[in-house]
Structure 1
């Protein structure tokens, strides 16, 4: 039977499951809402939807390389305990390998990738229902390279942080070294040419204000003050940019010097949970509240 958009919407509101999952459920159950709800529950999809208000800030990141495509993903869980679960680790690797194999345009396209007849979104939802925690594919990043370019990838702390770089005129060993540096230092840009002018202007204003409030600089000539400010700005911008940073393996030389004729084309770094506001637990208050019940 034909499944109307109204019916799909009704099931979505009842379960919180995705539109495509609701449509599949209704098609499988001949449009019966209750049977479709049970169908989603059996697959763990409706059950996981009830966890939508929970904060999933733990989890794992991973990388995978498939020929001239490299991918990195972050899959979140609610607790670090689940992140160490072998089933969850296998799920993250499956997701990452699928992303590398299909090179999706964005996160939504990644969720729609099918593995063994199921979309990644459904696979993650089913795992969520089985494991008992909210799981979510938070973000992806893919790279493509030419045959004469190389990827470097690095995973730290068992997947709490991953990085990938793409280099030209370089060896895989050198690329991995740069990926390790990116993971450790987290540069904002490759070179100072990439810093937006607005960001440079903002930092200029900050340094100008700092210097204006420094009594030691009160009687310095304008030309001297400009020289001091240039030095301060150059120090800040160098700290932001990969090529100007001191290389972690040989701190007496910059990354640019270590690279020699090699060129860094792209860099990316994921750290699990960065930017997610985590819920702070106050166990004393929680116990006290339970005692009053």
Structure 2
């Protein structure tokens, strides 16, 4: 049976496979569309198997927030070119939607299947590298921010003593600015109280050794150590860092100010950021 360009085009529109693969499948199936579709699927599975060991050091971060859930997803791939592909971006957003719609909290066969479908078309190894799902209720709220072309994504979780605070435009703006702040400063800890004691002790010893070289009285040295430690914690702890939009006060003080002006009390419960191709930070 002769295979026409129209036949190839029609199969491509139905399957999304490449033109040459569609032509090969139609020839092998003697023009039978259903058989050609099956052949393409088999070819796709074979292609996935061939690529499974290829490194996926590039990718993109996706985020979505609803009133009930907040989701952060890292979708990895082999090249930065594919990370910017429109179909890759569409897939990442679709994965966020499915996670929220179906209540998934872990990577599963359905999400893997969605990725595999695109692998058969783009022919590059990809995977859902990690996901984070935050359940939200009436007294909680999450803001998100994705930097640039998806190189870094942030979720910040808030709680309030009054649910109506999250309808306040100033609170929403502040929450969004906090996500931007995390992207800009990538803090290591949420607050000074959450820093490991062993780390505090280690830094104190370093600062003590530095201060002792100054040949100052013991009380002065003690004050220098405390000052250095306080400054260091203000650099690595989210709530102690100078706020990105107003560095005259810390995030913690700005949080209290915004809550008071809105008529209630706000709390930052946690923050998480995913950096494409790197480790996450969660507190």
Q: TM-score range by the shorter chain?
A: 0.7 to 0.9
Partner of 2:187: 187
* Inter-partner Cα distance in structure 2 for 1:275 and 1:257: 29
Give ranges in structure 1 of 5+ residues lacking alignment.
1-37, 113-118, 277-293
* Inter-partner Cα distance in structure 1 for 2:101 and 2:66: 6
* Inter-partner Cα distance in structure 2 for 1:67 and 1:263: 17
Deviation at 1:97, TM superposition (A): 1.6
Mapped contact 1:69–1:101 kept (Cα < 8 A): no
Partner of 1:165: 156
The CA RMSD measured in Å over matched residues stands at 2.3
* Inter-partner Cα distance in structure 1 for 2:155 and 2:43: 34
Partner of 1:273: 277
**Counterpart check, 1:246 vs 2:242:** yes
Give 1:35-50 correspondences, 5 Å limit.
Answer: 42=42, 44-50=44-50
Distance 1:44 1:123, change over 3 A: farther
Question: In structure 1, which of residues 223, 226, 231 is the aligned counterpart of residue 227 of structure 2?
Answer: 231
Partner of 1:126: 117
Deviation at 1:211, TM superposition (A): 4.1
Q: Secondary structure at the match of 1:110?
A: coil
* Inter-partner Cα distance in structure 2 for 1:43 and 1:98: 26
* Inter-partner Cα distance in structure 2 for 1:100 and 1:164: 15
Runs of 4+ in structure 1 off by over 3 angstroms are: 38-41, 102-105, 208-212
Count of aligned positions: 226
Deviation at 1:41, TM superposition (A): 6.2
Partner of 1:288: none
TM-score (norm 1): 0.71
Greater mean alpha carbon deviation, residues 81-90 or residues 150-159: 150-159
Q: Secondary structure at the match of 2:107?
A: helix
Distance 1:142 1:220, change over 3 A: same
**Counterpart check, 1:152 vs 2:143:** yes
**Counterpart check, 1:205 vs 2:205:** yes
Mapped contact 1:45–1:122 kept (Cα < 8 A): no
Greater mean alpha carbon deviation, residues 91-100 or residues 75-84: 91-100
Deviation at 1:275, TM superposition (A): 4.3
Partner of 1:111: 108
Distance 1:182 1:73, change over 3 A: same
TM-score (norm 2): 0.73
Q: Secondary structure at the match of 1:263?
A: strand
